[in-house]
Amino acid sequence: MQDIDSKYSLSQTPVNAKNYLLLFLIWPFLACITAIANYRNKNAKAVVYLFLIYYGLTFVIANEWIDASRYAITLRQNAALPFSDIFKIIGGIYATETSVDIVEPLISFLISRFSTDHKVLFGAYSALFAVFYLKSMDLVLDQTKSPLRLNYLIHLFFFASILPVTSINGFRMWTAAWIFFYGAYHVIALHNPKYFVLSLSACFVHFSFLSANAILIVYYFAGNRNFIYFPLVLISFIVPRLLGPFLQSLFGVLGHGALKARVDMYTAQDVILMRQENYDQLAWFMRLGSDLVLYYLLVAITIIKITKRGSITSTSEKNLYSFLLLFLAFVNFSMTIPSFGGRFLLVFFLFAVFYLLLYFTKNDSDRISPITLIGLFPMILYTAITFRQGSETMNAWIFSPLFGIPWCVPGLTVFDILFR
C-alpha cells in the first residue's frame, strides 16, 4: 500500500528535458500538470514557465472595458511612433507628460517595433510576471521539505490562486505585487538590505509601490515594535472611517508632475465615487470574497499567536508577524481610497498566507486542521471569483492537445463555455 506521505510529495524524480518538450508540443496543458507534479525538478519548472508564457500568447480580449484592451490600443499607437520616442519613456519618471511607470510602456514600445498583435505583448507580460510568480512559489517551497501534507497543500494552492497568471489583465499592479513580495520577504525575514533594490524596482512597474516600500523601510529601521504596531492596527480599523475625507486629501497632495497626475487618478473625489458605485453594483459574493479571506486570516493568525505560541519560534516568523501588523495598518488607512487600499489588501494576503504556510510546515497532519476548516469557504469562494474573472480572457483552446491550436481556430474563452 502506498505510504500516505508520498501521496502528497512533489516528486524529485529526474525527467529528461527532451521528454518534457515532446509532451509540451503534443499537449501543453498535460505537460504543465505533469511538471507541477514534479515541480522540484529543474526541467519541470521550465515547462511550467513555458506554459505561463503560452497562456499570455493566447490571451483573449473580448471586452473593450478591461485594462487589457487599453494595452492593446496603446501597442498599436506605439507602432506609429519613431524609435527615438523610447527616450521619452525611459525619462518618463522625471517628466510631466509621460508615464511614471516605465516598465510596461517600455515593453509595449519594444514589442511595437515588430508586432501590433496584442498576443505577442501579453506573451511578454506573462514572461515577466511568471519569473517572480514562480520565484515566489520556490521561496515558499524552499521553506518546506517533502512530503507536503494536507493543510499545507490547501494553503499552498490558495497562495498560488491569490494573484495567478490571469492577473496579467492588470499587468502593472499585479506584476509589481509579486516583485515586491519576493524582494520584501528577503528584507523582512533575512534583514538583507540588498533586496531593497528588487522591492523598490516594483515602483517602476506600478508607482503605488512607493508607498509599500515606504512601509518596508519603516519596518526595516524600526524592527519588531509590536507594542506600537498592534495598537496601530486597532486604531486603523476605526480612525480611517472617521477621517476619510482628510486622508483622501492627504494622499491627493502627494507627488508632483506625472506622479501627481497618477495620484489624482485615485484620489479625485469623482473617481472615488465612481469606483464605489462600480463596487456596489458587483454581485454580493464578489464583494464578500476578499472580506471573508481577510477575516479568516486575522482569526487564523490570532489563534496561532494565542494557542500555538510555542510553534512560532524562528526569527523569520517573528519578523513576518510584525511586518504583517504594520502592513495591515497601512492597508486599513489606505481603504479610504477603495482602488488603492483594496489592491494592497491582496498584497497583505500574500504575506499572511505565507505566514500560515510557515506554521503548517512544522505543525501539519493528514487530518484537516480546525484553522483550515474555518478558512475553507473563504478560500474556495475567493478562488472561484478569481477564476470567474480570469475566464473572460482565458483562451479555452489552451487546454486542447497540440501546441499552437489556439492560433489556428476562432477565439473562444472559458467564460463563453461556462458562464454565457
Buried b (16+ CB within 10 A) or exposed e, 15-54: beeeebeebbeebbeebbebbbebbebebbbbbbbbbbbb
Following DSSP, what letter does each residue of 80-127 receive, concatenated?
A: TS-GGGHHHHHTGGG-SSS-S--HHHHHHHHHHTT---HHHHHHHHHH
67 alpha carbon, distance to own chain's centre: 16
Length of the chain: 420
- Number of other CB atoms surrounding residue 208 within 10 Å: 24
Phi/psi of residue 395, each to 5°? -75, 120
CB proximity list for 303: less than 8 A, separation 6 or greater: 371
Residue in 88, 82, 170 with CA at minimum distance from that of residue 390: 170
CB proximity list for 200: less than 8 A, separation 6 or greater: 183, 213
Encode pLDDT of 148-163 as tens digits.
889 999 999 999 999 9
- Number of other CB atoms surrounding residue 158 within 10 Å: 22
Please tell me which residue, 166 or 143, carries the higher pLDDT value. Answer: 166
**CB 213 within 8 Å of CB 202:** yes
**CB 335 within 8 Å of CB 341:** yes
Measured over the CA atoms of residue 271, residue 276, residue 282 and residue 285, the dihedral's sign is positive
pLDDT at 245 over 80: no
pLDDT for 98: 47
Q: What are the grid coordinates assigned to 394, written together?
A: 482565458
The pLDDT mean for the chain works out to: 85
Total-model pTM: 0.88
Encode pLDDT of 97-151 as tens digits.
445 688 999 999 999 999 999 999 999 999 999 999 999 999 999 887 667 889 9
pLDDT for 87: 80
13 alpha carbon, distance to own chain's centre: 30
CA distance 56 to 249: 38
Encode pLDDT of 332-378 as tens digits.
988 877 677 889 999 999 999 999 999 998 888 889 999 999 999 99
pLDDT for 286: 65
Identity of residue 67: D
Question: Which residues on adjacent β-strands are paired with residue 395?
Answer: 413
Residue in 329, 308, 165 with CA at minimum distance from that of residue 231: 329
Encode pLDDT of 19-73 as tens digits.
888 999 999 999 999 999 888 888 899 999 999 999 999 999 988 888 899 999 9
DSSP state, 43? H
DSSP state, 148? P
**CB 120 within 8 Å of CB 111:** yes
Residue in 232, 226, 224 with CA at minimum distance from that of residue 331: 232
H or E element at residue 35: helix 28-37
Q: Which residue has the cell 519569473?
A: 131
